[in-house]
Structures are given as C-alpha cells and as structure tokens.
Amino acid sequence: MNENKTNSKESGREDVTGNGDSVMLNAAPSVEGHRADQTAPIVPLNEIALTGIFEISKILTAPTRLEATLANVVNLLQSFLQMRHGVVALLADDGIPDLTVGAGWSEGSDERYRGRLPQKAVDQIVATAMPLVAENIASHPAFGPADVETLGASEAVRVSFIGVPIRIDAKVVGTLTVDRIWDERSMYRLDSDVRLLTMVANLVGQTVKLHRVVAQDRERLMHESYRLQKELSELKPARDRRKVQVEGIIGDSPALRGLLEKIAVVAKSNSTVLLRGESGTGKELRAKAIHELSPRAKRPFIKINCAALPESVLESELFGHEKGAFTGALNSRKGRFELADKGTLFLDEIGEISASFQAKLLRVLQEQEFERVGGNQTIKVDVRVIAATNRNLEEAVARNEFRADLYYRISVVPMMLPPLRERRSDIPLLANEFLKNFNTENGRTLSFDRNAIEVLMSCGFPGNVRELENCVQRTATLAPGPEIVRNDFACCHSQCLSAMLWNGGSEAAPQRSLPIVPLSVLPARAPREASVGAPAALDPGASTPDSANASSSGSMADRDRVIAAMEKSGWVQAKAARLLGLTPRQIGYALKKHGIEVKRL
C-alpha cells in the first residue's frame, strides 16, 4: 500500500481508483512552466465519498428521464469508486426487471445490462433486503457457472461483486450492483463501499418514488380531465347528443353509438339490410332493433337460421307446403315468408345456403312472390328482409360459392357490427348486466372488484359478447363470493379453454401455460373486415378452401408483430409487452410459441 501511494505521488495524479484511507490530489504546473512541488495534499476517503454523494444528489434532482438519471448516477460512481460495471435494475410488480440501466445507457440497451445481472444473486438481495458482498464470485454460492462466465471471472481473473437493495419505504423495488477485478495492488475496503452504495441506493429509491408519484398524479389528472369532459358532454342538449337508446343493447362506446344512430336512420325505410360481423356480435339483436324502430314494429318479427336446416327442410320452412307435398305433410302449412307478411323476416347465416337454394331465394326477394312446396298458386307478400352473415361474401362471390345477383339483392344497406375489442369501454357495462341476470336467476349477490374488471378489459374475446357472457356465467358459478376477484378467472390459472381454442390448443398438452387471449395473437380473418392495427378474429364457423392458408398467414402476421414490437423496444420484453397490451408473462409465451430468439444487444 505504501508503494502504491509513492507511485501515485511520483506520477502526480489523483488516485481515485483505490479505496484506501486517503488519496492525493493532482499536481498542477507552476506559472514559470516548471512542475510544482510533487508533495500534494492527501484527501481522506470520506471527503471523496461526501463529494460523490453531493454530486449524485444533484443528478437525481435534475429534470430528466428516470432512465437517463440513473445512467448518470452509474457514470459518476465510476469516477470515484473502483468498479468495472455498474447496473441499476428496477423491478415491476411481478418481480421481473422492468428497467435496467448502466454506464453509457441509450434507448433500447436495457437487455444488454440485464444480461450482466446474476439472477440468483439479485433474487437473494430482493428476498433478504440485505446487501450481498462476494470477494470472489467463482467460489460464492450465489453465482452459478453462467454468472461467472458472464462477469468474466476465471482462475486468472478474480472478480468481486457488491449488490445493495433499492427501497421505497420498506419495499425493495430494485438493486444497485457493481463488479470489479482484483488487481493484487489495490486495497479493497468492501465495508466502506457497501455503506457508500447503500446511501446511493437510498437516494435512488427516493427519486424513483418521486417519479412514480408524479406519474400517478399525471394519470389521475388525465382521468379527472376525461371525467370532466364527459360530464360537460352530458350537459349538452339532447338534440345535440343525438343518442339512440334501444332496449336490450348495452353500451355507450363511440362504435356502438354510431351503429345505433345508423340503425335509427335505416329503420325508417323498407330497404333490405345485410348485417356483417363476427360471430357473437349480436346480429339478431340488431335486426330486432331495426324492426322495433321501423313502421312495421307492430307486425311480426320472424327469424330463421339458414345454417341450421338442410335445404329440403329450409325450403318448406320459408315457403310453406301443401298437404301431401311430401311424406309426412298431413296438412298445409304457412312458411316464414307468409307469417312475416307486413312485418320483418330475419335470415341469419345467409352465407351458408346452397347454390341451388340461392336461386329460389333470389326470386322471392326480387318479386315478393313464391309458391308453396307442392303447390302451384303464387302467393304475394310484403316482407322486409334483414339478412346476416359472418362470412366474407365478396370472397365467396369471387370463388363462385355465392351468387353475385343474390349478393347485390341482399346487400342494399350493409351494416358492419363492431367486435367487442373495438368497444372495450362497453365491457364493464355488459359484464355487470350479465352478472345481474346471473344473480337474479340463481339468488346470489355477487359483484366484481376492480381487478376483476381489469382482467375482463385485458381479454381479446374473439367470441365477442357471447364469449363474454359465458365467461361471466362460468366465473360467477365457481366464485366463492361475495366478490368476483382476479384469481377467480380461469385465464389467470392458464386454464382458459377459449384461449386454447383460439390459439390452436388442440395440439397443446393439458399442462401447457396459456395466457389471456389478446387480440394481437389472433389470426386475421379478412382485410375488408379488419380494423387498423387490430386484425379481426377468424370465425370457426366459416369453412373455406383457403382456411388453412389464412391460418398460416395469420400466424406469420402475429410473429411479425411480436418481432416488430421487440425491435422497437430494444428487445426488452417488458416494454414490448406494454406496446402489445400484454403482460411480461404473455410476451414470453408469444416468443416461445413463435420460436423467436431474444437478441442480446
């Protein structure tokens, strides 16, 4: 140690790399150009530490991004503390590192610093809330072979490690770690370094707490601003709001309000309407709303599912039959067209009827006349037809699976029904209504807590409103009560059968971990029906020759979306998860599913 100090004095430089009791200031040249006296004042180590703490406090109070602030702290530590690498890691609520910075940090470099963290050692610091000191990581039980290799330790290179917890009050929210190489010359004062790093970690913890409080206040103010804007809009005169209320249709999202306004306009005419949308979006309910808002509201509303009956039975159901027309026809019977005279006929799943029956249906739609099965008397009716389908009829026409003339006849006024993922603000209203109905039918008094609603809001619901209703009923049936909490949902235990269905779960083992099904992992159905930035779900009821290709291309699109998000976030899984609206666990599942190798920058 004495030899070390002598060499430092002779070289005329400040020894800030060692951790002895004192260091020497730099020697400055004299005015005459000759070197000043080589004997320089010795600066005690505690003064250097105090100066360092003072400079770090100024950095932490600067108005910069939290990542840049923490990187500047590590940079400054290197100037007065012997260290090779330093890393500040902040944890998310689930214990996964959410932010990792070090010296020379830049946007997207988190993964590079995360790769230097010995996970077992970090877990020990977080679990015990105590500092961890390892004079030689190669012989310390908290460091595995992979950690030793990552930190560059070997028989010839001895690496030391110090890690201290970062706290907010009593909770550990991260770690501050440094490593250094033993050079056989410097005198290590690990106890002093631990005290110094603990003080720095305490200052960092207070800064992180302040940033989080500011972020919460910003979010609260934005929510308050949104609430005030909503209240102001509700104060406008009713003639300005132009809200249309239809019994049975629940929601107040912009997408639903726009649809209801269009329904109110369309209902006044007798034009044929084609309702388009995914399965479970409530096409029958919208058809009934058109009927009830129309001048035909007091007349019959007749409905039939065209996909549920074979062609021979469907013809009899729609047109009726005469006595003796076929075996079992003991009496004459009116068809649905006759029953709906002066009213409305709803033809659900019209895209599933055969080519031969399409020609028969075309005539009655054009001429409003037909003959019963087995009869020769022409019957004229006045019926408004509302058809519905979840198929892409344009593609069906292009493949000669659906008659073009029938398509133009039924698609006079096409209406696109928004999927549930485009009206997420309606999910709490729908869920509470379904739970209210469940309570009435079963004599219970269940309610949702806030976290339960967040689970429902985060789900993609490819089955739309029908799937949401089933989810609420299933969860309410099994919930011990009196509140439905997050842990009551099957998706929170990787037991959601819907997730298995929409993610191709037929090939999955029962123990396979499945996340909540987000929109971003569903295959796209058709470009025409897809919204910007959110592909529509593939309808399992639509069987086409290109279904296999569509599924494959949808999977490739999902893989590209995941890769794009990872690249944009610098291959940081937590940030990519936020971009895609997923949890870190879900993004990890998506990476594994698509075979995406995480790059280490």
User: Which is higher by pLDDT, 560 or 286?
Assistant: 286
Domain boundary residue among 388, 418, 448? Answer: 418
- pLDDT the model gives residue 528: 35
Domain boundary residue among 381, 401, 418? Answer: 418
Q: Please check whether residues 188 and 312 belong to one and the same domain.
A: no
CA–CA separation, 198 and 315 (whole Å): 83
Domain boundary residue among 384, 418, 452? Answer: 418
Average pLDDT over residues 333-345: 91
Q: Please check whether residues 204 and 278 belong to one and the same domain.
A: no
- 183 three-state secondary structure: coil
- Does the structure show a pLDDT above 60 at 504? no
Distance, CA of 311 to chain centre: 44
Q: Please report whether residue 566 resides in a domain.
A: no
Most confident of the ranges 58-62, 93-97, 206-210, 425-429:
425-429
What is the identity of the amino acid at 253?
S
Q: Please report whether residue 237 resides in a domain.
A: no
Q: Please check whether residues 278 and 198 belong to one and the same domain.
A: no
Q: What is the pLDDT confidence band of residue 247, given thresholds at 50, 70 and 90?
A: confident
pLDDT tens string 194-222: 888 888 888 988 888 888 888 788 778 78
The CATH number for 72's domain is: 3.30.450.40
Q: Please report whether residue 586 resides in a domain.
A: no
Q: Please report whether residue 217 resides in a domain.
A: no
- pLDDT the model gives residue 384: 93
- pLDDT the model gives residue 288: 93
- Does the structure show a pLDDT above 60 at 2? no
- 526 three-state secondary structure: coil
Question: What pTM did the predictor assign?
Answer: 0.47
Q: Please check whether residues 319 and 392 belong to one and the same domain.
A: yes
- Does the structure show a pLDDT above 70 at 46? no
- Exposure letters 384-393 (e unless 16+ CB within 10 A, then b): bbbbbbbbbb
Token representation of residue 297: 């509201």
The CATH number for 400's domain is: 3.40.50.300
User: Which is higher by pLDDT, 43 or 303?
Assistant: 303
- pLDDT the model gives residue 416: 92
Q: Please check whether residues 287 and 377 belong to one and the same domain.
A: yes
Q: How many domains does the chain have?
A: 2
Q: Please check whether residues 166 and 265 belong to one and the same domain.
A: no
- 320 three-state secondary structure: strand
Q: Please check whether residues 166 and 97 belong to one and the same domain.
A: yes
User: Which is higher by pLDDT, 76 or 240?
Assistant: 76
Q: Please report whether residue 595 resides in a domain.
A: no
- Does the structure show a pLDDT above 80 at 231? no
CB 458 within 8 A of CB 492: no
Most confident of the ranges 219-233, 243-257, 444-458, 577-591:
444-458
- Does the structure show a pLDDT above 50 at 522? no
Q: Please check whether residues 114 and 197 belong to one and the same domain.
A: yes
- Does the structure show a pLDDT above 70 at 506? no
Mean pLDDT of the chain: 77
Q: Please report whether residue 201 resides in a domain.
A: yes
State the virtual CA torsion across 366, 369, 373, 377 in degrees, nearest 10.
Answer: -150
Q: Please report whether residue 70 resides in a domain.
A: yes
Average the pLDDT over each of 85-99, 162-176, 401-415, 441-455 and give the range with the smallest value: 85-99
Q: Please check whether residues 268 and 206 belong to one and the same domain.
A: no
**Which of 364, 365, 366, 384 has the alpha carbon at shortest distance from 293?**
384
CA–CA separation, 595 and 409 (whole Å): 47
Q: Please check whether residues 271 and 170 belong to one and the same domain.
A: no
- 448 three-state secondary structure: strand
Q: What is the pLDDT confidence band of residue 94, given thresholds at 50, 70 and 90?
A: low
Neighbours of 201 (CB within 10 A): 22
CA–CA separation, 586 and 517 (whole Å): 9
Average pLDDT over residues 60-65: 80
- Does the structure show a pLDDT above 70 at 525? no
**pLDDT above 70: percentage of residues in the chain:** 77
The boundaries of the domain holding residue 396 are: 254-418
Q: Please check whether residues 205 and 298 belong to one and the same domain.
A: no
Q: Please report whether residue 571 resides in a domain.
A: no
pLDDT tens string 444-463: 999 998 888 888 888 888 88
**Which of 393, 397, 306 has the alpha carbon at shortest distance from 345?**
306
Q: Please check whether residues 138 and 29 belong to one and the same domain.
A: yes
